């Protein structure tokens, strides 16, 4: 069973009142130890005509320690009672005011647990510990809301994209089942293409998820070597598309995942080749070391792009309107993976439309 929220307030109230009572008791102890101990234990009666007393002096009664304590104790008890009551009432009010921000944070947490991620605490007041906690909670909610929205959008797009090859596979199997005597070679080829597309999409989704989660071990990586490997791998595709692939690299060392950075370079180069529509076009890849960063630039010739279309290219499942001859449409995750890999390595990605047509992509990573 969960405790009531007032229990903390009650404990604080008891603490305040207890400290106040303890302070009163200590004050009485000081009076007793340092003042009353100098008072005689028994009362003293000084006669009127005692030596040194002077003529006409009345009889003098000096109370003893017990007499003083008998007169002082009841009043001290009343004062302690008033002090306790004042401590309880004042402590209850003070604790309530101090715990008011906690109640707002608790309410915000409860709403977030119910799915209201757009709710913000927005606590006012001085920049104290409660304000810092509320601000940190608001920042956390904003990040969670953004991530959840991105995951929902990504899951919807992924399910839509995966449905296509599965639907094609089912259609091919239905046709083959209805016509058992038909030539199966064409069915096998179409099934192979559909399966290859599903595998490619699944691998791309896994790579993108891995980059988003930053689940990798960082090590020194030379981007120029990755460019050489990507160029060697993509030469057949470039020749098939009549595209000249040019690599102009310098040693550019960063820290990160060699596999993810290799995927980034390959995706950029392949995307540049695929979107290069004109025969005799070019794709140029350069690496350049800076003072505190390394820069990878991939630019290709092609159709003229608008700034609006360029801004959407890094969104998952966004594809160019046209492709090279004989090239499959892809899965629309190439630049999305590149963007996630760059962000996972604390870098920046910039896309620019070239004045002569085509695209320039610049990835800047810490050196």
The b-or-e profile of 101-121 (16+ CB within 10 A means b, else e) is beebbeebeebbeeeebebbb
What confidence score (pLDDT) does residue 148 get? 79
Q: CA 366 to CA 266: how far, in whole Å?
A: 20
Question: Which part of the chain has CATH 1.10.287.130?
Answer: 149-213
What confidence score (pLDDT) does residue 151 get? 73
- Among the listed residues 226, 230, 273, 264, the one whose alpha carbon sits nearest the alpha carbon of residue 340: 264
Are 201 and 165 in contact by the 8 Å Cβ rule? The answer is: yes
Asked if pLDDT for residue 327 goes beyond 60, the answer is no
CA–centroid distance for 55 within its chain = 92
**Structure-token pair, residue 107:** 């309410």
Beta strands in 131-241 (DSSP E): 219-222
- Among the listed residues 185, 201, 173, the one whose alpha carbon sits nearest the alpha carbon of residue 329: 201
Instruction: Check if CATH label 3.40.50.20 holds for domain 219-366.
Output: no
The band of 285, judged by pLDDT with boundaries at 50, 70 and 90, is very high
Asked if pLDDT for residue 323 goes beyond 70, the answer is no
Question: Which part of the chain has CATH 3.30.565.10?
Answer: 219-366
Asked if pLDDT for residue 270 goes beyond 90, the answer is no
The band of 1, judged by pLDDT with boundaries at 50, 70 and 90, is very low
Q: CA 309 to CA 35: how far, in whole Å?
A: 90
Phi and psi torsions of 85, nearest 5°:
-65, -45
What confidence score (pLDDT) does residue 322 get? 41
Are 149 and 115 in contact by the 8 Å Cβ rule? The answer is: no
Q: E strand or H helix at 242, and its extent?
A: none
Helix (H/G/I), strand (E/B), else coil: 203 = helix
Residues facing residue 286 across a β-bridge: 248, 297
What confidence score (pLDDT) does residue 54 get? 52
**Residue-averaged pLDDT of the chain:** 78
- Among the listed residues 263, 151, 243, the one whose alpha carbon sits nearest the alpha carbon of residue 203: 263
- Among the listed residues 360, 366, 175, 367, the one whose alpha carbon sits nearest the alpha carbon of residue 286: 360
Are 365 and 293 in contact by the 8 Å Cβ rule? The answer is: yes
Arithmetic mean of pLDDT, 331-351: 82
Q: CA 221 to CA 259: how far, in whole Å?
A: 10
Asked if pLDDT for residue 41 goes beyond 80, the answer is no
Question: How many CB atoms are closer than 10 A to CB 30?
Answer: 10
What confidence score (pLDDT) does residue 58 get? 64
Q: CA 156 to CA 171: how far, in whole Å?
A: 23
Which top CATH class is 149-213?
A: mainly alpha
Would you give the DSSP letter of residue 292?
Answer: S
Q: E strand or H helix at 60, and its extent?
A: strand 60-62
Tell me the pLDDT tens digit for each residue of 212-238.
666 677 889 999 999 998 888 888 888
CA angle 127, 130, 131 (to 5 degrees): 40
């Amino acid at each position: 069973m969960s405790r009531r929220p007032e229990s903390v307030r009650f404990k604080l109230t008891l603490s305040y009142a207890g400290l106040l009572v303890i302070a009163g008791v200590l004050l009485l102890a000081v009076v007793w130890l340092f003042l009353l101990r100098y008072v005689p234990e028994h009362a003293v009666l000084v006669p009127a005509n005692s030596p040194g007393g002077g003529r006409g002096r009345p009889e003098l009664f000096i109370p003893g320690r017990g007499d003083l304590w008998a007169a002082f104790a009841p009043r001290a008890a009343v004062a302690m009672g008033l002090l306790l009551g004042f401590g309880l009432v004042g402590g209850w009010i003070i604790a309530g005011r101090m715990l008011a921000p906690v109640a707002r944070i608790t309410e915000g947490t409860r709403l977030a647990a119910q799915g209201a991620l757009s709710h913000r605490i927005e606590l006012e007041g001085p920049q104290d510990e409660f304000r810092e906690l509320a601000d940190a909670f608001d920042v956390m909610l904003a990040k969670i809301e953004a991530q959840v929205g991105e995951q929902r959008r990504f899951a919807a797009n992924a399910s839509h994209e995966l449905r296509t090859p599965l639907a094609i596979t089912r259609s091919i199997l239905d046709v083959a089942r209805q016509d058992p005597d038909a030539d199966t070679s064409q069915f096998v080829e179409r099934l192979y293409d559909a399966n290859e597309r599903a595998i490619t999409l699944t691998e791309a989704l896994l790579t993108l998820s891995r980059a988003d989660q930053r689940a990798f071990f960082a090590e020194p990586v030379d981007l120029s070597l990755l460019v050489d490997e990507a160029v060697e791998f993509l030469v057949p595709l470039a020749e098939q598309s009549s595209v000249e692939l040019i690599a102009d690299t310098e040693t550019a060392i960063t820290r990160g995942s060699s596999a993810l950075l290799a995927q980034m370079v390959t995706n950029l180069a392949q995307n540049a080749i695929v979107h290069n529509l004109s025969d005799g076009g070019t794709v140029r890849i350069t690496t350049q070391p800076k003072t505190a960063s390394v820069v990878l630039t991939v630019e290709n010739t092609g159709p003229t792009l608008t700034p609006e279309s360029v801004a959407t290219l890094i969104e998952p499942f966004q594809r160019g309107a046209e492709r090279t001859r004989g090239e499959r449409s892809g899965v629309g995750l190439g630049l999305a993976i590149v963007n996630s890999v760059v962000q996972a390595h604390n870098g920046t990605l910039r896309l620019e439309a070239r004045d002569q047509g085509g695209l320039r992509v610049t990835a800047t990573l810490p050196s």
